[in-house]
Chains A and B, each alone.
Chain A
């Protein structure tokens, strides 16, 4: 098998190949490291590449696996982490000069779970500074570039996670999502990402952006791979005050259930046309995806999107207030350490009053009820993941995002599980994502719809033109 083919196996395929001894964890790891060495100079996915550690872990996994000490489907699989997950003994920067030299003495819970499952850590990935700034020129590490076209952004804030997967550098990655930061780069990079229900995966050891909106979750190249990762990551953690003590179902076994009869709501009216509206290239691809879901037996039902549109405003208000509160001391004493983009966005939080923040939290109560009420007659929602294709770096308008509908952040406000799966390309070969949203703790419904769609289409098989 060619090295690039090895790097583009799904996690499930790699796990099978390992057990059939077609290749070893060391060979998988070396193939990934070689590819990172060859291509990451163009993409800037990695802030810290832990090559020596990875080889050491791969040798341990090889020894265990080949002596029938099998830790499960992630054993021996190379992965990488967004650089806001605390990693014991490994620098964790948040892509910021503020934490440039921070070496945690503990692991985030999610990192510990992946390590316990026998994964091989390739390194820490670039992101938008503190998961909030856009791609900026004055951060201490270069902005991550999109493997589909390096002149374009990846979406963020889990930019390195999305790009590294699309580039075949790793088989799975962790992202975090406060307003769309797993789903946006998943859509822009042509991979899969799920923001699970709030509380499903521990946030312990993940540098906060906004406590009440932050979610953590997996990103991978296939729906099944995300289900495999979520199986390991999900579960109660007493270290996270928001952790939910609810049962974790078998996500993988639900993948192949048929979707015939599932009712999928599309909140198009009063949302998709907000301000400048949805880009017609994106909306065309999205409409084709809905036709495929319909052919697969799902019932597509138009619903009103007014409360979804308002949810963005509550989400943004809560986010900037909480983010400012977290960073206040550093903004007072060492503002120069922040990049200009993230500093300006964080500072906006200083000018909101306590009454403003509480108004947004009261609106959250109302909007949450309005949005969830739809589930009395629906099984899921579907939207484009992002309202437009990825911008080019040159001439990028930082305010553009506010001039389009935001399809991701209402589901941070409501805490609902939401997944992005590739659903096609624009005429200039940039990926588009389909977002599927389900009721609380019904990630299995997201997986089921997305898997049926993925298996009926070819988009996940496309590779960016790097080689």
Chain B
């Protein structure tokens, strides 16, 4: 189980992404970011080894 993202981590990721986000805005972002991560964890429960992502590139469709 992944841990909740902290404000420090959020600040670091924002900097790496080239985003200039104020401290105030980072604080307002944090609950939504953690909600998003929680959602993804719930989706991972669906995974099987054979499950592929939707929308894979298809050479055949390019040739049609």
A376 within 8 A of B: no
- The answer to whether A344 and B28 touch across the interface, beta carbons within 8 angstroms, is yes
Which of A41-49, A179-187, A312-320, A451-459 binds B?
Answer: A312-320
Chain B contacts of A363 at CB under 8 A?
Answer: 43-44, 46-47
Q: Give chain B's interface residue range (CB within 8 Å of chain A).
A: 20 to 34
Q: Count of A-B contacts with CB under 8 A? A: 95
The CB with the most chain B CB atoms within 10 A, among A348, A358, A364, is that of: A348
Chain B nearest Cβ from A253, distance in angstroms: 30
Chain A contacts of B36 at CB under 8 A?
Answer: 316-317, 320, 348, 351-352, 356
A365 within 8 A of B: yes
- The answer to whether B32 and A344 touch across the interface, beta carbons within 8 angstroms, is yes
| CA of A331 to CA of B13, assembled, Å | 14
- The answer to whether A348 and B33 touch across the interface, beta carbons within 8 angstroms, is yes
Closest to B43 in A: A363
Chain A contacts of B54 at CB under 8 A?
Answer: 212, 361-362, 364-365, 368
| CA of A363 to CA of B13, assembled, Å | 25
- The answer to whether B46 and A366 touch across the interface, beta carbons within 8 angstroms, is yes
Interface residues of B in 16-44 (CB under 8 A from A): 17-21, 25, 28-29, 32-33, 35-37, 39-40, 42-44
Q: Give chain A's interface residue range (CB within 8 Å of chain B).
A: 20 to 34
Secondary structure of the A contact surface, majority rule: helix
A466 within 8 A of B: no
- The answer to whether A402 and B35 touch across the interface, beta carbons within 8 angstroms, is yes
Closest to B32 in A: A348
Chain B nearest Cβ from A335, distance in angstroms: 7
Chain B contacts of A335 at CB under 8 A?
Answer: 19-21
Given the known inter-chain contacts A359-B47, A365-B53, please indicate yes or no for A351 contacting B39, CB distance below 8 A: no
Encoded as 1 (CB less than 8 Å from any B CB) or 0, chain A from 329 to 344 comes to 0011001000000011
- The answer to whether A313 and B53 touch across the interface, beta carbons within 8 angstroms, is no
| CA of A459 to CA of B64, assembled, Å | 46
- The answer to whether B19 and A344 touch across the interface, beta carbons within 8 angstroms, is no
B8 within 8 A of A: no
- The answer to whether B39 and A317 touch across the interface, beta carbons within 8 angstroms, is yes
Chain A contacts of B20 at CB under 8 A?
Answer: 332, 335
A347 within 8 A of B: yes
Closest to A309 in B: B42
A-B contact pairs, 30 of them (CB 8 A): A313-B39, A317-B39, A317-B40, A332-B17, A332-B19, A332-B20, A335-B19, A335-B20, A344-B28, A344-B29, A347-B21, A347-B25, A347-B29, A348-B33, A350-B14, A350-B19, A351-B29, A351-B36, A352-B40, A359-B47, A361-B53, A362-B47, A362-B51, A362-B54, A364-B55, A365-B51, A365-B52, A365-B54, A366-B46, A366-B47
The 4 closest A-B pairs by CB, nearest first: A361-B53, A313-B39, A363-B43, A364-B54
Q: 7 extra interchain contacts, Cβ-Cβ under 8 A, other than A348-B36, A351-B14?
A: A317-B43, A332-B18, A347-B21, A350-B14, A352-B40, A360-B43, A366-B51
